[in-house]
Structure 1
Amino acid sequence: MKKIVLALIIALGVFSSSFITKQSQARELLDKVAVIVDQGVILESEITVLMEGVKSNALTSGQTLPSDAALRRQAIERLILENLQAQMAEKMGIQVSDPQLDQTIENIAAQQNIDMQTFRRELAKEGLPYEEYREQIRKELISGEVRRANVRRRVYITQQEIDTLMSLMNEQGAEQAEYRLSHILIDIGSDATEEEITEARDRAERILGLLDTGSDFARLAIGASSGAKALEGGDMGWMNINSMPTLFAEAVEGKKKNQTIGPIRSGAGFHILQIADTRGVEIVEVEEVNARHILIPPSIILSDAKAESMLSEFREQLIAGEADFAELAKEHSEDPGSALRGGELGWNDPSVYVPEFKDALATLTKDEYSQPIRTVHGWHLIQLIDRRVDDATDKRKEDRAYQLIFNRKFQEETDAWLREMRDQAYIEVLDENA
């Protein structure tokens, strides 16, 4: 039945027209379906756009790339995962409204200290139409919410794990060096034979040999890695040793910049790491905030405008002294974690909140109410209770230990969840040699 439905998709709606280049004088070509992904499809144009983006970034940074065939395989894998997450978002009813999307982009521009007009011009200089960039951000927000919703419940942390890490942090010092890791994964299937495992190990050893003779790590990662950051040349970014996967932490501890490590065996396959850089961590005081909020998400029976209007009315009542914030939160807030506490969120580093919420807090003075703000969770009315400078108490250390463990486990579970979703999906590449 699935194949019949997919055949109808191909027959009824998958062709559109696009233009090659100015030199072709707008000669029209038909787009085509390149990959079937469950109930969705990936078009040839999507693969082309992603490959051209990677090539453009590589040209800007002076990075060499593998063959087009290898780059195409990586692009297809990236688009498959994005497509599956988009389908899941649709099933879960996750959406990002235009006002929320516009606010997010304005925040991005503000972080770069430029206005929206300048921001649009900068995008145009890079050859990226604003509407295309806007939809990319929408997809990223939706994918992030899908991952959070599906992966967060898979993360379980015991008090013993927290206590153990706190003891280790106390022994080593609360702050430690950070590593910027580059990563290549030669994957093996869950039901791989001994012969396939041996073949994967040999591939990993050959890659190590190429690295030892001066081959470019990023180029090899793009061409051969099955890791989530393959198209970024395997760059995993900066990580504290306690926030990276345990397997990696044990491998890199005590190693120096530019050292290559591997192959390291895990359930996913054979890993090769390179320490691209290291840096110390400055000891800084962190300002924490205590706030409370009322959350009203739009629904089938409650429009976006009505949710915003309700919170505006609550704000007027609070300012006039006609209502109590805690009582309003208990009665109306849809945040189960804080509603029973009168909306109070407790002391937190503002960075734990979504960008719109964090930015709103930054503008408030003690006891002040925000205007209603929109995030991926819905509409919020926020009151800042107080601010304080973190003094690195035991509670702070415990929170930090918990967050480090959570970040590590969340990344590990995200990778596992994506692999499971990929394995369970119906995938058909229609033209492997295209």
Structure 2
Amino acid sequence: MLSATILLSPGVHAQVEMLDRIVAVVNDGVIMESELQERVDEIAAQFRGDNRPLPPREVLREQVLDRVILERLQLQMAERAGIRVDDGALNQALSGIARQNNMTLQQFADALRADGYDWSRFREQVRGEMVVSRLQQRSVASRVRVTDREVQRFLESETGRQMFQADFHLGHILVKVPGNASPEQVSAAQEEAEALVRRLRDGADFAETAVSESDGPEALEGGDLGWREAAQWPSLFADAAIDMNKGDISEPLRSGAGFHILKMIDRRGGGAEKVVTQYQVRHVLVRADTLTSEEQARAEINRVHDQVASGELSFAEAAAEHSDDPGSGRQGGELGWVTPGEMVPEFEQMMVETPPGQLSPVFESQFGWHFLRVEETREADMSDQLRELQARKALQKRRFDEELQTWLQEQRAEAYVDIRLQS
């Protein structure tokens, strides 16, 4: 009786408050208010650090929630597919980030802590980004095919010659159109995009407009897509941007995702350098198959890696006895001289970040589990060969980006998402 009286007391009721709640359900997982608020606070801090005005609070929350939903969906898919990033691969990636900032890993961690970041949480965010990247490579790369004939046609075309002469720094705003949109919805989206173009050409700030209006994944970065060789942009963007000058705003560009608006933030003369760094590389590959699970493949590559690291096996012996790459396995894992652009991104990143003579940690690509050793490096004049490699890489990058957006839309449409965000 006494307990009931206390619980029903008006004074006590005034102190009861909601500590946390669900703001979205994504398949069989949830996103909590506290998680969303943490991400919103991080983005807001970045805006303040860059001296950019914050968008309205509700706009920022909606943009961040949409990003978190897409991340959560991909992490769920990766978990079901058995995609993992171990601590060795994570530390290697973090060391690479530290080197880009001219720091050791410890210095980088100390600098983040000094800026108020939780180092453990930062590590897990990077791990999540790596997992998502591996999922995208595995799911989307198989859709991308570039033939020798396509490379030659591209190099011989006027567009190809022009595109190798410039690098673009683009801004991007997307007005999304649903996959099953009615003609009225398409027309309304086009009118919205045209109105945005008029606002931008009349002097509206592009970054602020992107944050508040864009449906693109980079909206919270002000629509900034960064620098890229002209040939590596999606063809829709490249064809429009090739004749744009610094500061120009494009007309709305229609794609399956909706209407795109580009800004030429800057452009500079390009052209491939003839002299490039090549890497003499050995590797061991272990892949899962009908008889070997992902867990077994990973355990096997780690066991072989430890044997090579301890000197129990030479690299050549390990490759000959255990590698599932028959071509290089018979050669002691030798891949010869490798030029950047020839290998899948995970392999190339590890190759570039591993000092000559040292053994890399175990890492995963779309082909399976690897470790490698860079025997030595050299500078080589590639001329036409480099041009062909860069053309192929540019076409692959262009098609990967196009396919990625289509794939993301498909996954988002197929997922169960219940948004419970309240004003």
Q: Taking structure 2 as the reference length, what is the TM-score of the superposition?
A: 0.85
Q: Which residue is 1:150 aligned to?
A: 139
For the Cα contact (< 8 Å) 1:182–1:274, is it kept in 2? yes
**Pairwise CA distance, 1:394:** 2.9
**Pairwise CA distance, 1:317:** 4.4
For 1:293-372, what aligned pairs fall within 5 Å after superposition?
A: 293-296=283-286, 299-300=295-296, 302=299, 306-312=303-309, 315-318=311-314, 325=316, 328-335=318-325, 338-339=328-329, 342-350=332-340, 352=343, 353-360=347-354, 362-364=355-357, 370-371=358-359
Query: Are residue 197 (structure 1) and residue 186 (structure 2) matched?
Result: yes
SS where residue 376 of structure 1 aligns? strand
| Compared CA separation, residues 340 and 196, structure 1 to 2 (3 A) | farther
- 2-structure distance, mates of 1:167, 1:182: 29
For the Cα contact (< 8 Å) 2:351–2:374, is it kept in 1? no
- 2-structure distance, mates of 1:294, 1:143: 24
| Compared CA separation, residues 336 and 249, structure 1 to 2 (3 A) | farther
- 1-structure distance, mates of 2:223, 2:189: 18
- 2-structure distance, mates of 1:209, 1:383: 53
Q: Which residue is 2:10 aligned to?
A: none
For the Cα contact (< 8 Å) 1:372–1:379, is it kept in 2? no
- 2-structure distance, mates of 1:359, 1:113: 14
Identity %: 34
**Pairwise CA distance, 1:29:** 5.9
Give the partner amino acid of 1:289. Y
For the Cα contact (< 8 Å) 1:47–1:75, is it kept in 2? yes
- 1-structure distance, mates of 2:71, 2:313: 44
Q: Which residue is 1:227 aligned to?
A: 216
For the Cα contact (< 8 Å) 2:351–2:372, is it kept in 1? no
Name which of 359, 377, 398 aligns with 1:408: 398
- 1-structure distance, mates of 2:353, 2:258: 41
Give the partner amino acid of 1:40. G
**Pairwise CA distance, 1:115:** 2.6
CA-to-partner distance for each residue in 1:86-140, whole Å, 9 max, x for gaps? Answer: 0011011111112322232223223322233322221123221111111111111
**Pairwise CA distance, 1:206:** 1.5
For the Cα contact (< 8 Å) 1:308–1:372, is it kept in 2? no
Query: Are residue 211 (structure 1) and residue 190 (structure 2) matched?
Result: no
| Compared CA separation, residues 38 and 170, structure 1 to 2 (3 A) | closer
**Pairwise CA distance, 1:218:** 1.2
Q: Which residue is 1:45 aligned to?
A: 34
- 2-structure distance, mates of 1:258, 1:89: 40
Q: Taking structure 1 as the reference length, what is the TM-score of the superposition?
A: 0.83
Name whichever of 245-254 and 59-68 sits farther off.
59-68
- 1-structure distance, mates of 2:359, 2:183: 61
For the Cα contact (< 8 Å) 1:307–1:379, is it kept in 2? no
Query: Are residue 382 (structure 1) and residue 373 (structure 2) matched?
Result: yes
Name which of 258, 264, 280 aligns with 1:290: 280
Name whichever of 134-143 and 387-396 sits farther off.
387-396
SS where residue 139 of structure 1 aligns? helix
Name whichever of 274-283 and 408-417 sits farther off.
274-283
Q: Which residue is 2:43 aligned to?
A: 54
For 1:45-84, what aligned pairs fall within 5 Å after superposition?
A: 45-84=34-73
Q: Which residue is 1:249 aligned to?
A: 238
For the Cα contact (< 8 Å) 1:89–1:143, is it kept in 2? yes
Q: Which residue is 1:393 aligned to?
A: 383
Give the partner amino acid of 1:312. A
Q: Which residue is 1:426 aligned to?
A: 416
Give the partner amino acid of 2:79. E
Name whichever of 158-167 and 293-302 sits farther off.
293-302
Give the partner amino acid of 2:254. R
Give the partner amino acid of 1:408. R
Name which of 111, 114, 117 aligns with 1:128: 117
Name whichever of 94-103 and 373-382 sits farther off.
373-382
SS where residue 390 of structure 1 aligns? strand
- 2-structure distance, mates of 1:70, 1:288: 47
| Compared CA separation, residues 336 and 144, structure 1 to 2 (3 A) | farther
Q: Which residue is 1:367 aligned to?
A: none
For the Cα contact (< 8 Å) 1:100–1:374, is it kept in 2? yes
SS where residue 107 of structure 2 aligns? helix
Q: Which residue is 1:5 aligned to?
A: none
Name whichever of 394-403 and 182-191 sits farther off.
394-403
Where structure 1 has 5 or more consecutive residues not aligned to the other structure, the ranges are 1-26, 319-323, 365-369
Give the partner amino acid of 2:259. F
Q: Which residue is 1:7 aligned to?
A: none
Paired residue total:
393
For the Cα contact (< 8 Å) 2:20–2:32, is it kept in 1? yes
CA-to-partner distance for each residue in 1:297-323, whole Å, 9 max, x for gaps? Answer: 78348367634323335x5543xxxxx
